[in-house]
Amino acid sequence: MKRPNFSLWLCIGVVALFYCSCKDNTKGKQKVDLAQQGEKPVSTADSTLFHFWDKFDMQDTAQVKNPEKGEQQLADFLQLLAQHPDSATRDKAIDLMLDKAKVNRTSFDYFIKQYEHYLYDGNSPMRNDIVYESVLRYLIKTDLLSDLEKEAYRPTYKLVLRNKVGQTAEDFTYELANGKKQKLSDTKANYTFLIFYDPDCSHCKETIQQLRDTPQLVQLFAQLKVQVVAIDPWGDRTKWKDYQSQLSDQWINGFDSESKILSFNLYDLKASPTIYLLDENKKVLLKDTYLQQVIAYFVKTNS
């Protein structure tokens, strides 16, 4: 095993930490006897998820809407779900929880809004398309909702299924400052740091400044042959051109002159900036991520 690269770890300390991700510290999965389910034994972690809401009274609306009760219970549940790698287990845990909530439409509607707030809101530090995908799968099949209500969730469901980790990122054409056009797939690099930004977004400016002006980070990206592809998808050419000086000359700075990214929902741009990390074949390594998480990924894979 190679020794850890000091510059990688130094970058973690230099770059501002916007959000912290949860890590599963469980050292193993102990089997329990659940023969009464008629299924193969499940791990203690799975059992905790499946029985997480057993003692929670969905009929007690006051408890449900109490932030220290209902909302806190959901936040703890979501942390456990985010740590679980198996989609079938996540689906089952959410199915069990929402089936329990169905006994009270007020409770059901409340938790659906909380799921959206925590998992899909662009400003939520806990946003997680993988977990929200399980919620959406439930909503488009439940008998509690009308066909019209279900249809309202289908566009979002299709969107969260795009550009998932392991998939090839949606290709698109963009315009360069010199007027030439090229495609995302044309990028030649070990990694592509794809950032969709809005020239008026203060958080975008902070991220871009860190990416451009942190010497250790610039060195790291050069060392690992990371190509930054910065795309303005919002369609205001004047603002895009005026913002050119804020970006590094080493980056690819593109403009979606035909607004296809937004028109065809090629990427889910619910927040600015939106960041993806792609491998040399343009497969998604990190989806809708943060600069700090990209650095952490490099630390883990290059140590």
For the segment 107-134, what is each residue's pLDDT rounded down to a tens digit?
999 999 999 999 999 889 899 999 999 9
Residue 42: what pLDDT? 64
Poorest-confidence range of 49-53, 123-127, 131-135, 263-267? 123-127
For the segment 21-30, what is each residue's pLDDT rounded down to a tens digit?
333 333 343 3
Poorest-confidence range of 3-12, 152-161, 178-187? 3-12
Domain ranges of the chain: 31-160, 173-301
Average pLDDT along the chain: 88
Query: Amino acid letter at 229?
Result: V
Residue 107: what pLDDT? 97
Q: What pLDDT band is residue 192 in, cutting at 50, 70 and 90?
A: very high
Task: Give the whole-angstrom CA distance, residue 263 versus residue 113.
Answer: 26
| CB 199, CB 243: distance < 8 Å | yes
Residue 14 has pLDDT above 50, yes or no: no
Quote the Cα angle for 246-247-249, to 5°: 130
| Overall average pLDDT of the 211-224 stretch | 96
Residue in the block written with tokens 């659906």: 112
Residue 275: what pLDDT? 97
Is residue 208 classed exposed, middle or buried when 0-12, 13-18 and 19+ CB atoms within 10 A define those classes? Answer: buried
Residue 20: what pLDDT? 37
For the segment 64-110, what is each residue's pLDDT rounded down to a tens digit?
999 999 999 999 999 999 998 899 999 999 999 999 999 999 999 99
| CB 87, CB 81: distance < 8 Å | no
**pTM of the complete model:** 0.82
Q: What is the CATH number of domain 173-301?
A: 3.40.30.10
